Amino acid sequence: MKMLINGQPCQVPEGCSVAAALAHAGQPSATFCGMGQCQQCQVTIDGVNHRLACMTPAVDGMVIEVAHEPC
Would you tell me which residues interact with another protein (CB under 8 A)?
13, 15-17, 19-21, 23-24, 28, 30-40, 42, 48-52, 54-58, 71
**Toward another protein, which CB reaches closer, 4 or 65?**
65
Q: How far apart are the C-alpha atoms of 27 and 38, rounded to whole Å?
A: 19
At its nearest, how many Å lie between another protein and the CB of residue 55?
6
Q: How far apart are the C-alpha atoms of 58 and 61, rounded to whole Å?
A: 9
* Cα pseudo-dihedral 16, 2, 18, 47, rounded to 10: -150
At its nearest, how many Å lie between another protein and the CB of residue 48?
5
